[in-house]
Amino acid sequence: MTIKLIGYSSSPSTLRVIATLNELGVTDYSLAPPENFSDLKSPEFLAEKNPFGKIPVLIDDGFTIYESRPIARYIVAKYQGKYNKKILIPDDIQKAALVDQYASAESCYYDPPLATIIFQELFKGLGGGGGPDAELVNTQLEKIAKILDIYERILEGKQFLTGSDISLADIFHYPTTAYTAKKHKDLYESRPNVKRWIDNIAKSEGVKKTFEDYPVPQF
pLDDT value, residue 127: 63
Look over the chain and give the mean of its residue pLDDT values, rounded to a whole number. 95
pLDDT confidence of 219, banded at 50, 70, 90?
A: low
- Domains of the chain as residue ranges with CATH: 3-79 (3.40.30.10), 93-212 (1.20.1050.10)
* Under 8 Å between Cβ of 210 and 31: no
- Among residues 88, 54, 52, 58, the alpha carbon closest in space to that of 70 is found at 58
For residue range 155-209, list pLDDT tens digits in order.
999 999 999 999 999 999 999 999 999 999 999 999 999 999 999 999 999 999 9
* Under 8 Å between Cβ of 155 and 197: yes
pLDDT value, residue 79: 98
pLDDT value, residue 70: 98
For residue range 111-163, list pLDDT tens digits in order.
999 999 999 998 886 666 678 999 999 999 999 999 999 999 999 999 999 99
Q: Which residues contact 102 (CB under 8 A, 6 or more apart)?
A: 161, 162, 167, 169, 170
Q: Average pLDDT of 65-74?
A: 98
* Under 8 Å between Cβ of 54 and 29: no
pLDDT confidence of 2, banded at 50, 70, 90?
A: confident
Instruction: Provide the whole-model pTM.
Output: 0.96
pLDDT value, residue 217: 82
Q: Cite the DSSP H helix spans in 59-133.
A: 68-79, 93-105, 111-118, 124-126
Residue 1 pLDDT > 70: no
For residue range 71-107, list pLDDT tens digits in order.
999 999 999 999 999 999 999 999 999 999 999 999 9
* Other CB atoms within 10 Å distance of the CB of residue 15: 28
Greatest CA span in the chain, whole angstroms? Answer: 51
pLDDT value, residue 128: 60
Residue 20 pLDDT > 90: yes
